[in-house]
Structure formats: C-alpha cells, structure tokens
Amino acid sequence: MDLPIVGRADELAQLRAALLSASSGSGRLVLVSGDAGIGKTRMATALTEMAAEYDVPVARGYAVDDPGMPPLWPWRRLARDVPCLAEALAADTALGSASARFAMFTDATDVLAGTAKTGMVLVLEDLHWADRMSLRLLSHLAGELAGTKLLVLCTFRDADGTPLAEYLPDLMRAGVSKSIRLAGLSTQDIAHWLRIEAMDVAMASQLEAKTNGNPLYVRLLVDCGHDISGHPELRRLVLARVPEEAKELLGAASVLGEEIDLPLLTKVCGLAEDRVGELLDQAVQAGILRALPSISFVHALVRDALYEQLAPSQRLTLHQRAAEALEESGTAGQVANHWRRAGDLTKTVHWARKAAASAMDDLAYEEAVEFAKLALQFPDGQLTLELAKAEYMAGQIHASLVHCEQAARLDPALLAEAALVITGLGDSKTLTTVDKMCAAALRAPQPDAIRARLLAKRALAAAETGTAAERSRELSAEALAVAEASGDPDAILDGIHSRHMTLCAPQFLAERTKLAERAVELAEVARQPLAAMWGHVWLVDASFQRGDLAAVDYELGQIEQFATTNQHALAWWHVTRLRATRAALVGDIEQAIEYNESARRIAERIDTEATAGLYFAFLNQIHLLRGSISDEDAAAVLAVLGSVRDVVLARVFTPITYALAGDMAAATATFEEFRHMPDTVQIGPRWAPLVYHIGICAILLDDVPTADKVYRIFAPFEPDFGTDGSGAAFCGGSTARWVGDLALATGRVTEAIGHYRDAVSMNAKIGARPFLALSKLGLAKALLQRGEHTDIPELRRLAAEAAAEFRRLDMPKPLAAADTLLRGASNASPLSRRETEVAELVGQALSNRQIAERLVLSERTVESHVRSILNKLGYSTRTEIATWNLRAQ
C-alpha cells in the first residue's frame, strides 16, 4: 500500500506556495533532499497532483545509477514531455564547437521558459547520480528562473562525493531557491498513518524505533505482517514481495538500471516479449515496479536488493549480454561499464577509450577522466597519456603531471607529447618537471613544430624560476622563430606564450600587448584547448598597466565567456582572481575579498602551488593597503610564507608582515638578505613587484640607502599602473604614488611633490579610490615637509579628503597618519605677525573699522589683511577665521 502523506504539512505548504509563485511569473527552484526511502518521490508526486489542480503541465526527468549514463540524461528524459527541448539538447552534437555548450544551455533555457507561458513544473529526480553537464544546465536555468513561470523541483540524497556537491552551494544560494530537507516521521506521524489505515496504533513507537521514521521502511514492515519481533533484514523483506515467477526477470532488470528498457531487457533475459510484459505487470501489481511515467523500480533499494541476490556467475553473464546488446544502440559509456562488470578487460578498455573521447568532444572533462581511468586497466603509455590530457582539461593538474611522467616512462616515444600537455601554470614544481621532460625530448630529433613548442616550454621554465632571465629571452626568441618557420599555429602560440612571459617587465608593455593580440587571433585556428583564454588573460594585465579599466572589463568578459562555455577550472580561477584585483583597485574591498575566496576554492580543485599561493599574496596586499595586520593573521601569513621559502617574491613579505605587525626587530633581521637585491636581481617575470616590495619594506623600516636604490631604478620610468604582465595579483594604482613615497623617504621633497601630483591625477582618472586617497596623503606630507606657509590650505584639504576616504574604506593606519597630519597642519600658522593680530580681533567679532582704530591702521589696509587671511587659510567667511583663531590658541 502507499503511505499517506502525513507529517509533511509544512513541506506541502511550501510546495504549493512555490507553485503559485511560479504560476504568477516568479519562477522557483525547490531542492528536496533526504535519505533513501524518506519520501522525496512522494513529495514530487504530490506536487504533480497540485499542478493538476491548477491545470499546470508537468515534465519529469531523472538520473540513474549507471556510470554509462550519457551527459544530460535527466534532461533528455524530461524532453519526452517537452518535445521541443530535445532539439535544443542536440545542439552540442550538431555544432561541435567550443561555444556549443553555452549556446545549448541558453537555447534549452529559452525553450523551457517559452513553453511555460501559462506555467510549468519540471521534476528532476535523483540528482545525486546526475552528471556534471546536467548540473551545469540546471545552474544556468536557475539563473534565469526569476522572470519565468517555471517551478523546478529537484530531489537528491546525500550529495557528498558526487558532482552535485560542487554545484549545490550555488544552487542553494540562488535567490529563487528553496531547500527542503525531509526527516523521518515521528511516532505521532506514524500513529496518525496507522489510524487512517485502521491499524494498531500501539505499533507506532516500535515502528519508529526500528525504521527511524523512514516511510519506505515503515511501509515494508507493515506490508510484511506488522510482526516486527521477527523482522528480517531489508533485502529479504524486499524479495519477499517479488513474485516468484518474476524474480529471474527482475534480477536481469536490476543489472540494466532503475528504468526498464523493454526491448533491451527482452534481449538480455532471453524470454519472449509477451512473457516479459506479463511478468512486469505482475511486478507492478506487487508494488516492485511502477508503471508511470515509465516502467521502473519503485526505489533504488528494491533494485539493489535484487542485484545483490544474484549469484556472481549470473551477474557476469547478464552484464555480458547487456554489453553485447548495447554495442549497436547504447552509449560507449554504458557498454564499457557492462564489459567491466562482465570481467572482459580488453573490451572494457576499447569501449572506455571511446567513451572518454566522446566525453572530451562534448566538453564533459570530468566524465572523460573517469572513463580514461576505466580504460587504464593495465600499464599502457598511450592510455596513460590520454588520461593525463583529460585530467588537465578537468583542472586536475597534479594528477595530470604524474600521468604525463608515467606515460613517458612506459613509452619513451611519447615523451615530447607528454611534455606538452600542461601549459599556463607557473609553480616551480610543475615547471621543473615539465622542463626536465622537454630537455630530454630535445635530445632526440623532433619536427620543427614540436621542437619549437619544447623550446618554448624551456624558456617559460627559465623565466619563471628566475635563474636565467637573459637565457629565457634567447630561448623564447629561438622558439618563436622556429615556430614561425614551421607555420604551425599551436607552435606559434607556444612561442608567443614563452616570449610574452620572458618580457614580463614594465618596460616591455607595447611588445607584450602585440603578442597578446596575436595570441587572440591565433586561438581561432590553434588546437590547444586553452588557446582562446591566454591572450585575453595577458590583455587584462596590459590593460591594468595602462589604467584602461574599460578594456579590463571587456577582456574579463571574454575570459568569463570562455569559462562558461568550457567549464575549465583554470579559466574560472583566472576570471575570479582578476575580478578581485579589479574590485580592490576601485575600493570595493569586501567584494574583492569575496572574489579572492572564490578563487581560493577553485584553486583547491586545481591543486598547484601557483594558484593557491596567489590567494595569500592578495590577502597580503590587503593588509599592506590597510597598513596593519592582526597577530592571528600575521601568524597565519608567516606560516604560509615559511612553506614557500624558494619563492623570493613571497619571501619578501616576511619582513613586511613583521613590520605591519609591529615587530621591527624581526622585520629588520629578515629584510637583510633583500638589501642588495635591487642592484643584482635580473629583469624578468616578477622583477618589478619584487624590487617594488623591497622598496616598500625599506620605507617601513626607514632604510634610506635601500629605498634610494629602488628610487633610482624606477624614477626614470614613465608612470603607469604597476602590473608587469606576469599575472596581476594586485593593482596598486599609479606607480607615481609609490615612487613619490620613495622620493619622500630619501629626502627628495620637490621630486616627491611632482610624483604625487601625477599620482593624484592618474588615480582620480580611473576611480582608484584607495590609491587616490594615499596619493593625497603623500602629497600633503610632502607639502608639509617643504614648509611653505602658502601650502597649508592645500595640505589641510588633501589630508581631510584622504582621511574621509580612509574612514569609508576601513584603512586604519593611513587614517591615523592623515589625522596626525591634520592636527599638525592646524597648529602651523601661515599668517604674518600683523595678520595674526587682525585674525585675533576678527575672532573678537570686531568690525574692520574697529580693528583699524585698535591697530592704528586704515580701514582699507584691514580689508586687505582680512582678504589675505581668508586666502591663506582656504576660508571664505569671517566666522571661519574666528573658529581657526580659537583652535590656534
């Protein structure tokens, strides 16, 4: 018997409210979760019944527990009820391009929204088994629900360890979403149900204790005669309900999945189709199967129990029959999975390779990894390399690197191909490993295109490790020349990549921009999967350096479109971290920190030192911007810095962190190794930020000789906005500001004023609020040091404006400095002795005639003195003079 819906009044009310809201044009997403048997499907059925009351159509889809399930299976099942959706879902196959998936998602969303003109309910069940592409489509649709008449109900069990776990947080945070977690029924709920069914209410407490209130278990126990004292295990309960004649057939069906495919089942079991239909009808009548919307097991537990009772030899035979039957009509993944369970390794490998290749074509990289792993049943170089390529595209960089090395060891002929799998990542471990593979591959003759790409990789490694900057530029030039001669677009793109990286310094902006623009053009013909991303990433850096935020926004949009279309973790990481940089530049600090946290979560999936390290580098810049750091944060930062001692740019933040925390002795001791570096470090990637931060630390420690070295390096450069092309971790506004800081720290007051005025103009032009305020504070300090009374009104205004901005942006240390300067400026009088006398009498509310009589001056002379006082103090009224006079006393 079916369990009446008891104990779900609140949940049913929420479903009805969501249905009414969606029907009125405010779409909703309802996420119903709970254990197996808890009543999720019953809730979906209840919603279907509600929808019928309002003449709202319902479409249903579901995922299945089968590794061979093709991408988008739940949506393809749902398309049976929405025929026009099937055409939209076929777009990825028809177009065959990198942008197909995004276009398909958009088309599918538009189709569903258009179909729901009078309202529609979409039910997607068992999403804990869903593939990532299905979940991406759901996420895409969730973002568009607000203006539609769609109600989407999703059911799932525990999401941990499934692809759903990655998408669930964003789905639950969506403004249109509602989460319903179903718990077990209480003793009172079960008693109410028993009372409705005219059963012994006294059983309720025992049933609740035995089943934890799980409705399915309650029903099974009650249907088994209510005698819980001799309650057998669940599998025996399930099998007890199975008609004896149908056991063998249902055992075969359990091998195939939760939904019954009648033609396939007929082939596998060897019975006549009429007999199969007859036995299935018996199973439906016994409550083992449900007939609508298609014939399927009533619950996964039922299927599991039937599968477990099969003898091992039966399972092998049935899986073999299933694989043979599906080879003509099924997906490669389904066939591979059945051959695996049938124990045929050779056929498993064959079909798993086909499934992996198909998933790569569909841009379903995570699925490609799983099938590539399935294909790797025994050591094989080519299969291992295919797995490495899939892992790289799925963002599993560390695993990909390991398998690249394994592939080369298993088959030395694959060494060059393996060395070229990973690109675009700059942590020392990855670069060193790839560089060794490239060096080994170059010892053998290679085609020009391959040789160019290997040389480019070696140039990148030399540039990133900072050991041979000049050599890296030579290698990159050679790589690009060989690539150009080969005419191969991928080789040229690699050559451009290496050349760009070796020119990562402020003075090479024009050449880097041209290289980036050419990379964007080549992306249309190159075979590299990330070709469309790199040029735009480099152009973001160049646009930051020029202070062109409109161009930054355009390029970020291009990267985001690539990330959305391809769902590549590295692309998402780049767009997210660069948005953090953009937000911090204009003073949206909280938003910047949120973006940085999002980038950290993505970096954890990529699992490389470079991606993870930039998270902490960004936080360090926020601490530096605010001018202080808590003891707790300082301890955390120093612990991280201790783990990357081989990265000199990271290491320089050790003395900076100590200085921000107030431990000047430790800061001075750890800074000692950096004092000579401005004269010795080679120009290359991250040269500029390293020397810049050495200068910053020198200012914090009042180390004038080191600050002087840094000033002499950067003073001749035309001011820009500080990024150097090596991956903008942070943009600190106009470089004129920190060159002004260096000038002021080394006693170059006149030069400092010039630099600060440039910085104020440049930062104001792009709306870089934190750095505009810092520039104004610096200019005020420089004017105060110059000591001219005529500067007092301007420096007071600058300091006041800076202090107001520091308060708004929560920058405590700069605020304290601005307040101190304001107090000093208030005490400094720009007035002459006679003007001071006049100001005092103005403060006594005397008129000009009275002041003239008191001081034995002409009234006209007093008027001239008052005008001069107003001008020097930056005031416009006599009342302000009186107020100033009181403060000065």
Residues 101, 156 within the same domain: yes
DSSP-derived pairing of the beta strands 289-290 and 296-297: antiparallel
Contact assessment for residue 43 and residue 179, using Cβ atoms and an 8 Å cutoff: no
Residues in the chain: 889
Residues 812, 841 within the same domain: no
Total domains, the chain: 4
CATH number for the domain spanning 84: value is 3.40.50.300
> What local confidence, expressed as pLDDT, does residue 96 receive?
44
> How many whole angstroms separate alpha carbon 251 and alpha carbon 255?
7
Residues 178, 80 within the same domain: yes
> How many whole angstroms separate alpha carbon 642 and alpha carbon 396?
25
pTM for the model: 0.59
Residues 127, 225 within the same domain: no
Binned at pLDDT 50, 70 and 90, residue 362 comes out as confident
Contact assessment for residue 596 and residue 623, using Cβ atoms and an 8 Å cutoff: no
Q: Which of 198, 231, 264 is the last residue of a domain?
A: 231
Q: Which of 669, 673, 813, 691 minimizes the C-alpha distance to 742?
A: 691
Residues spanned by the domain of 877:
833-888
CATH number for the domain spanning 881: value is 1.10.10.10
Q: What is the mean pLDDT of residues 407-433?
A: 85
Residues 145, 77 within the same domain: yes
Residue 550 in domain: no
Looking at this protein, which amino acid is placed at residue 54? Answer: Y
The conformation of residue 413, written as its DSSP 8-state character, comes to G
> How many whole angstroms separate alpha carbon 847 and alpha carbon 327?
106
Residue 241 in domain: no
Residues 29, 162 within the same domain: yes
Binned at pLDDT 50, 70 and 90, residue 721 comes out as very high
Residues 91, 192 within the same domain: no
Residues 31, 63 within the same domain: yes
The conformation of residue 152, written as its DSSP 8-state character, comes to E
Q: Is the Cα dihedral 64, 66, 72, 73 positive or negative?
A: negative
Lowest mean pLDDT among 91-100, 361-370, 648-657: 91-100
Residues 176, 196 within the same domain: no
Lowest mean pLDDT among 217-221, 391-395, 486-490, 543-547: 217-221
Residue 869 in domain: yes
Q: Is 196 exposed, middle or buried (0-12, 13-18, 19+ CB in 10 A)?
A: exposed
Q: What is the DSSP string of 312-330?
A: HHHHHHHHHHHHHHHHHHS
Helical H segments across 224-311, by residue range:
234-240, 247-256, 262-269, 273-285, 300-308
Residues 88, 120 within the same domain: yes
Binned at pLDDT 50, 70 and 90, residue 889 comes out as low
Q: DSSP 3-state assignment of 446?
A: coil
Give strand pairing partners of 32.
155, 180
For residue 176, what are its two tokens? 């249109």
Binned at pLDDT 50, 70 and 90, residue 95 comes out as very low
Is the model's pLDDT at 187 over the cut of 90? no
Residue 93 in domain: yes
Residue 62 in domain: yes
Binned at pLDDT 50, 70 and 90, residue 711 comes out as very high
Q: Which of 249, 300, 299, 243 minimizes the C-alpha distance to 270?
A: 249
Question: Left (φ > 0), alpha (ψ -120 to 50) or beta: where does 225 sit?
Answer: left
Tell me what percent of the residues of the chain surpass a pLDDT of 90: 37
Q: Which of 167, 201, 231 is the last residue of a domain?
A: 231
Q: Which of 183, 215, 249 is the last residue of a domain?
A: 183
Higher pLDDT, 836 or 777: 777
For residue 405, what are its two tokens? 């090395």
Residue 258 in domain: no
- Percentages (nearest 5) of helix, strand, coil residues in the chain: 70, 5, 25
Q: Is the Cα dihedral 768, 772, 775, 777 positive or negative?
A: negative
> How many whole angstroms separate alpha carbon 291 and alpha carbon 510?
68
Residues 78, 170 within the same domain: yes
> What local confidence, expressed as pLDDT, does residue 886 receive?
64
Residue 453 in domain: no
Residues 173, 214 within the same domain: no
Exposed e or buried b for every residue in 679-702, given b needs 16+ CB within 10 A?
Answer: eebebbbbbbbbbbbbbbbbbbbe
Binned at pLDDT 50, 70 and 90, residue 870 comes out as confident
